Amino acid sequence: MILTVTLNTALDVTHRVPRLLPHTSHRVTAVTERAGGKGLNVARVLAALGHEVTATGFAGGPAGTVVRDLLAGSPGVVDALVPCAGTTRRTLAVVDESTGDTTQFNEPGPQISAVEWSAFLARYTELAAGARAVALCGSLPPGVPVGAYAVLVRAARAAGAPVLLDTSGEALRRGVAARPEIIKPNAAELAELTGSRDPLPATRDARRRGAHAVVTSLGPEGLLAATPDGTWQATPPRTLRGNPTGAGDSAVAGLLSALTEDLPWPDRLTRAVALSTATVHAPTAGEFDPRTYAEVRGSVKVTAVPAGGR
């Protein structure tokens, strides 16, 4: 079983409009709702790849009820969300159909009490003991200690489960010091962590801060990975138009699934880039287009980066 953690789960609401213009009214052509948050997106992709997945985190209030109802309709994903008194946040995405661009609005999330955090820790420790790997994903809701991910990394490592950490800011800074197996920042998050805007030295610097391996998202340029076995850049064969929301989560699922299958790093990166690219062609986060995945997987270019640079 692979365990995914989404402390700040969300009810993702997507509106599609013919054209998004500021200061005007819009007629919405379609509305969709999904159980959201980075870890839940990862869980759905892992399940689609054939892995047994358990999803935990917090869920509460009317929005939390909808999230759990929607999650029940996700084949292969076991709901282990922990109740909270506050209401699960909503995220609103507005898709401009004329350009394909997406504008996102993210609420902060419910206030988590000390008692609720303790209840989650107890449940997490129990679940991690049976996990082959753990994904810790996304932002922290109000009330959760800023060092929460460091605590969760150490607990999983004590249970013998490798951890992939995908977060940002101070939560990432503290989490990386707990020595996760992999961290997956984007270029901006990596620059914030290391102070360097050059991805190659920044990726290597992040390894020195505690991560066993660092995989940096470079957007259309793919992934840059600094690992104990070497440094590689993996790039897709072409840039695709579509909705990039959730593409990074699909990359996480690809890395984590390949980790549990003990694949070599070039194969891990190939899977991650192919899934990320295929998600751009999917209608919503947590899905990928199988045809695009099959096409791209054989065309991803993985290049070894020498010790002195690119």
- Nearest Cα neighbor of 11 from 79, 57, 66 is 66
Enumerate the H helices of 86-147 as residue ranges.
Answer: 114-128
260 by Cβ neighbours in 10 Å (0-12 / 13-18 / 19+) ranks as middle
Cα dihedral 168, 86, 111, 79 sign: negative
Distance CA 119, CA 143 (A): 14
* Residue among 79, 101, 166, 249 flagged as catalytic: 249
Structure token pair of residue 284: 């919503």
Strands 77-79 and 53-59: parallel
Partners of 164 in beta bridges: 135, 182
Amino acid at 26: H
12 given a catalytic annotation: no
129 by Cβ neighbours in 10 Å (0-12 / 13-18 / 19+) ranks as middle
Strands 133-137 and 2-6: parallel
**Catalytic positions, written as ranges:** 249
